[in-house]
Amino acid sequence: MWCGQNMQEHFDVIVIGGGAAGMMCAITAGQRGRRVALLEHNDRVGKKIGISGGGRCNFTNLGATAVNYLSERPDFCKSALARFTPWDFVALVERHGIAYHEKKLGQQFCDGSSREIIDLLLAECAAAQVQVRCGIRVQQVEKTTSFRVVHGAGEFTCDALVVATGGLSFAKLGATDFGYRLARQFGLRVTELRPGLVPLTLGEGEQAFRNLSGVALPVTARNARASFEEALLLTHRGVSGPAVLQISSFWREGESLAVDLLPEPGAAHKVEQARRTGRELVDVLGELMPRRFAEVWCARHAPRKTLVHYTKQEFEAVMESLRAWPMRPTGTEGYPKAEVTLGGVDTAELSSKTMEARKVPGLYFIGEVVDVTGWLGGYNFQWAWASGRAAGGAA
């Protein structure tokens, strides 16, 4: 790696952004014999990779298809995903001798540390003779016959420029809006940007649930556009957990969510059977979900009497609430807690085969900066690998 001194050099390809997409692109271009510089403004590459998957890097999902991505043009990602599949990245992981396992739902994690994936990418960069240069904060980009990249210590020029600067999530790791500004500078449309895979907040009226911070339970969270059966986690500000993070990408301000509190097979039947007994609902629910949650929920939504004394209408209303508890979030916890940024460079501006800007030959956008956002569970890494591979094969 390199830091410091004033230099003016020319490269075939410059990649701005040393994350997953940028590193894969640089590796691919270098393997083609291109002279490549990978520029990272942090002191080291792969910072977001390092914290992913709880430090074990959920590096892909074996079930990744276009269905698992949000975009104004949902078919755009099909080409890149088809040409570099999850199995292609798994093969790379195996070639480097990294032990891994499937956690659930196709999600692949390192047995050890996320650092193993970063080291894999750095080793591939070295083998492809990619010049990895950290501490380079790009200040300005111009294009004449070639691209001129101005930074704090001088400038570089290149024939092809790849923008892999990521989204607005995790500003503490150096996230900025640079990629979006650069796209607009060159006349490319950027779609609406929103936090995605983000915890949701609840209002003061739901303080009783917010007081249960740390309590988790299995649910199905849904709205008119999507449905996810995963865990819900109560927080001091609202709700999080995989089910909430997933549905958050499909949620809009002012909308309600329906939360099924009895998603597991047979759970609803157990409540229905208990109606013939002298038991209270809170005791039945306490066997199906955390007792503390059952107590708060029943205090808000259920008559205080034994189930056998519920009227038909009361019981039906309670069951309806259990199967579709109406939750109205007041907002999200924003980019500081969001795992991804929804929206980005409009895919109508890019070639789905090469990721090159149609209006600006030699300019490419890849990874999270593009309007392609995956579900939780390794899908965004797979888009990074696939889009990086596509651009690196063409730049």
What number is the average pLDDT over the span 73-96? Answer: 98
Q: Tell me the pLDDT tens digit for each residue of 276-329.
A: 888 999 999 999 999 999 999 999 999 999 999 999 999 999 999 999 999 999
Whether residue 104 has pLDDT greater than 90: no
Task: Give the residue from 186, 166, 145 showing the smallest Cα distance to 15.
Answer: 166
- Cα 128 to chain centroid distance, Å, stands at 28
Q: Tell me the pLDDT tens digit for each residue of 247-278.
A: 999 999 999 999 999 999 999 999 999 998 88
Whether residue 5 has pLDDT greater than 90: no
Q: Where are the domains of the chain?
A: 7-194+340-392, 200-332
Quick one: tokens of 174? Answer: 């150096």
What number is the average pLDDT over the span 336-353? Answer: 98
Q: What phi and psi, each to the nearest 5 degrees, are found at residue 348?
A: -65, -20
User: For the packed helices 379-392 and 20-31, what is the interaxial angle rounded to 10 degrees?
Assistant: 30
Question: Which residues are within 8 A (CB) of 6 and not within 5 positions of it... i.e. 6 or more apart?
Answer: 153, 154
What number is the average pLDDT over the span 11-31? Answer: 98
pTM assigned to the model? 0.95
DSSP-derived 3-state class of residue 13 = strand
Q: Using 50, 70 and 90 to split pLDDT, how confident is the model at 188?
A: very high
How far apart, in whole angstroms, are the C-alpha atoms of residue 235 and residue 323?
A: 22
DSSP-derived 3-state class of residue 260 = strand
Q: Using 50, 70 and 90 to split pLDDT, how confident is the model at 60?
A: very high
Q: Using 50, 70 and 90 to split pLDDT, how confident is the model at 185?
A: very high
DSSP run (H or E) holding 12: strand 7-16
How far apart, in whole angstroms, are the C-alpha atoms of residue 159 and residue 9?
A: 12
Per CATH, the number for 200-332 is 2.40.30.10
Question: CA geometry: angle at 37 spanning 367 and 18, to 5°?
Answer: 35
Q: Using 50, 70 and 90 to split pLDDT, how confident is the model at 7?
A: low
138 pairs with which residues across the strands? 151
Do residues 55 and 115 lie in contact, with contact meaning Cβ atoms separated by under 8 Å? Answer: no
What number is the average pLDDT over the span 137-145? Answer: 96
Question: Which residues are within 8 A (CB) of 7 and not within 5 positions of it... i.e. 6 or more apart?
Answer: 153, 154, 156
DSSP string, 218-258: EEEEE-SS-EEEEEEEE-SSEEESHHHHHHHTT--TT--EE
DSSP-derived 3-state class of residue 22 = helix
What number is the average pLDDT over the span 104-124? Answer: 97
Q: Which amino acid is at 90?
A: V
How far apart, in whole angstroms, are the C-alpha atoms of residue 327 and residue 318?
A: 15
Same fold, 7-194+340-392 and 200-332: no
Task: For the chain, give the mean pLDDT.
Answer: 96
How far apart, in whole angstroms, are the C-alpha atoms of residue 157 and residue 10?
A: 5
State which CATH number among 3.50.50.60, 3.30.360.10, 3.10.150.10, 3.40.190.10 fits the domain covering 7-194+340-392: 3.50.50.60
Whether residue 4 has pLDDT greater than 80: no
